[in-house]
Amino acid sequence: MQNYHFDVTEKQNKLRLDTCISHFLPQYTRSYISRLIKTEAVHVNQHLKKASYLVKTGDCISILITEREQLSAIPEDIPLDILYEDQDILIINKQAGLVIHPAPGHASGTLVNALLHYNNQQFSKVDRFGIVHRLDQDTTGCLIVAKNMQSQNYLNQLFKNRTIEKKYLCLVNGQMKQQKGIIDLPIGRHPTHRKKMSVHAKISRHAETAWKLSRQFDHFALLEIFLKTGRTHQIRVHLAAINHPVVGDQVYGKQRNWEHCQQAVQVCIKKIHRQMLHAHEVGFMHPRTNKFLRITAPLPVDMADVLSVLDVPKLGN
C-alpha cells in the first residue's frame, strides 16, 4: 500500500486529472492511472473526480494504491539478455518487439512475464515488477529493473530528478546541417490520433532532446541522443518534427523514395520494419554502493547490418 499527496501548482493548472497525476507519478502508465481514478483511489480536495476534471492551482490530490498489477501476470520462458545484475538491480538489453507491461492486445509475451519466469519470488514482491522506466516496443537497448522496493524508490527518484544519464543511438533520414543541436519542443497527445504524440498538442509538456552527429552517410545520419526529459515517443516525435525521422519508424516517419540510393542500400532499407533506435548506454549512482555505474548495450544485429551496408563505398570511389 502506498499513499501519495500532491499540491497542484500553476504549472499544472487546467491539466486533466489523469494527465496531472502522470506528471507526478511518471512510473505509472496512463491506463493504470485511469483505473485508479475509476476505482475511487484518487481524491481531489477529499472529493472524487473524473479523469477529465481540469485541476486548479492549489488543489490537493490524494492517491491510495493498494492493488498490484502483477496479480494477473504469469511467468513465461522468454530469453533475457542480461547486461548487469546484483542484489539490487537488473539491467537488460531489451530486444525489438518486446512489450514492457501486459496490456490489451499484449496479455502475454512481455518483459513482465519474462521477469517472473527469471525470478518469480523476487519480482512478484516489487511494485510494478520492478519496472522503473520503459522503452517503446520496437526500441532496443538498456532497460533498468529494480529487484527490491528500496532500489525501486531510489531509481524512481533519480528518474524524477533527471539524474540518470541516457544515451541513445539512432539512424535518421537526411544529412544533418550541423554537428550538434537541441530540440526544445513541447510534446502532448496528438489532437486527432490518440495513440500518437505531437509537438502541436493542445495540452503538452516541456520536452528537450540534445543530439550529436556520430557518422554522416550520403542520405542518412547516425546520431547520439541525450534526453533532458523523458516524454512518450520523445526522440521519434522530435526528430520527425525537424524533418529527420528515425529510419524505419512506421508511425512518425514518412514513405520515402530510395531510388537515389545504391541498390544494396535500397534492398537493406526496404527490409527494415522497425525504428532504428537503440538505448545504447545508461549511467547512474548505484543505490547501495553509491558508486557511479555505467552500462553499455551493443548494437542489435539489424541496426549493425544497416550501418555496415551504408559504410560500403560507391563503385569508382
Q: Which of 2-6, 68-72, 125-129, 223-227 has the highest mean pLDDT?
A: 223-227
Task: Report whether pLDDT(42) > 90.
Answer: yes
Model pLDDT, residue 23: 83
- Tens of pLDDT, residue by residue over 198-230, are 999 887 889 999 999 999 998 899 999 999 888
**Domain identity same for 153 and 79:** yes
* CATH code (residue 19): 3.10.290.10
pLDDT, average across residues 109-135: 89
* Whether residue 49 sits in one domain with residue 37: yes
- Residue 315: pLDDT band (50, 70, 90) is very low
- Residue 209 within any structural domain of the chain: yes
Domain with 20, as residue range(s), is 2-67
**Looking at the predicted structure, is the pLDDT value of residue 298 above 70?**
yes
Query: Which of 63-77, 117-131, 225-239, 278-292 has the lowest average pLDDT?
Result: 63-77
Segment 149-171 mean pLDDT: 92
Statement to judge: residues 25 and 79 lie in one domain:
no
pLDDT at 124 over 90: no
**294 occurs within a structural domain:** no
Residues 178 and 232 in one domain: yes
Same domain, 156 and 171: no
Active-site residue flag, 18: no
Q: Which amino acid is at 182?
A: I
**What's the rounded mean pLDDT across residues 228-233?**
89
pLDDT above 90 covers a percentage of the chain that reads: 63
Instruction: Output the domain CATH number for residue 77.
Output: 3.30.2350.10
What confidence score (pLDDT) does residue 27 get? 64
pLDDT at 102: 78
* pLDDT beyond 90 at 164: yes
Are 201 and 269 part of one and the same domain? yes
The mean pLDDT of 159-169, rounded to a whole number, is 93
* Residue range 255-278, pLDDT digits in tens: 676 767 888 888 888 888 899 999
Does 232 lie in the same domain as 133? no
Mean pLDDT value of segment 106-112: 86
Residue 22 resides in a domain? yes
Q: Are residues 183 and 255 in the same domain?
A: yes
Shared domain check, 242 and 216: yes
The domain boundary, picked from 67, 86, 117, lies at: 67
Classify residue 7: in a domain, yes or no: yes
Does 259 fall in a domain?
yes
Q: What is the pLDDT, as a whole number, of residue 317? A: 42
Do the beta carbons of residue 169 and residue 222 sit within 8 Å? yes
Domain shared by 243 and 195, yes or no? yes
Domain boundary among 106, 138, 160: 160
Q: Is residue 187 part of a domain?
A: yes
Residue 244: inside a domain, yes or no? yes
Residue 193 pLDDT exceeds 70: yes
Evaluate if pTM is beyond 0.85.
Answer: no
Same domain, 245 and 182: yes
Q: How many domains does the chain have?
A: 3
- Lowest-confidence region among 15-24, 43-52, 131-140, 264-273: 264-273
Q: Is residue 194 part of a domain?
A: yes
Name the grid cell of 169: 543511438
* Higher-pLDDT residue of 122, 53: 53
Choosing from 18, 59, 136, 249, the catalytic residue is: 136
At which of 107, 140, 160 does a domain end? Answer: 160
Q: In this structure, are 76 and 117 located in the same domain?
A: yes
